[in-house]
């Protein structure tokens, strides 16, 4: 995966399922907040009357914070970041999660990022807004960066922002669509940074 410029200046990471192992049971959470098929959880909460919205939002925040507190990293995270810290790269964490849960995960695993963006900062994925904000904050163009994610929303948001995307596949039978890795240890190789 080589950029037109040939030089990657930053890597943008998704958090849940990419840095941390998938933990939240989305089906149960959707049922608890009453999100109908086809609606995003946040979109559904925003459509509710104030009192119901507040109750549903509290359930979401509690679920996310519980996941952060009990989170475990995906295999290879510490090894990958040890190598990334030696490279002249900016690292950003971009999540649909709320900021307190994100900061908990970063502190829990002692990770260092140049930029942390959560849903408090911009419209969440699959909208491109968080990624466009990241480019603005980092002072970089879409072809200076690459994103690693594990979900449909990551892929859609990157496509909308024009950012090259690498997919972390959790299941061996997941269809491959574009650059894909099966474990975090393969990232530098896929990006052509393993010789660095």
Q: Is 31 a member of any domain?
A: yes
pLDDT number for residue 88: 94
Task: Say if residue 4's pLDDT is above 60.
Answer: no
pLDDT number for residue 19: 97
Quote the strand ranges of 73-125, DSSP E: 90-94, 115-117
Shared domain check, 152 and 88: yes
pLDDT number for residue 46: 95
Bridge-partner residues for 165, per DSSP?
147
What is the rounded average pLDDT of the residues 75-98?
A: 96
Query: How far is the C-alpha of 18 from the C-alpha of 75, rounded, in Å?
Result: 10
Range of the structural domain that residue 128 is part of? 10-21+75-190
Query: How far is the C-alpha of 91 from the C-alpha of 11, rounded, in Å?
Result: 5
Average pLDDT of the residues of the chain: 94
CB-hemisphere CA count at 13 Å for 76?
13
Split into its structural domains, the chain has a count of 2
Closest CA to 97 of 20, 164, 159: 20
For the stretch 35-49, pLDDT in tens is 999 888 999 999 999
Q: Is 153 a member of any domain?
A: yes
What is the rounded average pLDDT of the residues 139-159?
A: 96
What is the rounded average pLDDT of the residues 107-133?
A: 97
pLDDT number for residue 7: 87
């Amino acid at each position: 995966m080589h950029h037109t410029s040939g030089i990657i200046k930053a890597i943008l990471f998704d958090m849940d399922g990419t840095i941390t192992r998938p933990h939240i049971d989305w089906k149960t959470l959707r049922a608890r907040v009453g999100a109908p098929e086809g609606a995003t959880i946040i979109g559904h909460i925003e459509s509710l009357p104030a009192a119901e919205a507040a109750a549903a939002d509290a359930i979401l925040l509690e679920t996310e914070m519980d996941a952060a507190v009990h989170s475990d990293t995906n295999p290879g995270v510490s090894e990958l970041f040890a190598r990334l810290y030696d490279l002249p790269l900016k690292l950003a964490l971009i999540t649909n999660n709320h900021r307190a849960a994100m900061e908990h995960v970063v502190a829990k695993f002692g990770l260092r990022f140049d930029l942390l963006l959560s849903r408090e900062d911009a419209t969440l994925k699959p909208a491109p807004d968080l990624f466009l904000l990241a480019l603005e904050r980092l002072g970089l163009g879409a072809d200076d960066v690459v994103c690693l994610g594990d979900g449909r929303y990551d892929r859609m948001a990157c496509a909308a922002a024009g950012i090259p995307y690498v997919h972390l596949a959790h299941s061996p039978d997941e269809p491959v669509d574009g650059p894909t890795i099966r474990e975090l240890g393969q990232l530098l190789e896929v990006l052509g940074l393993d010789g660095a």
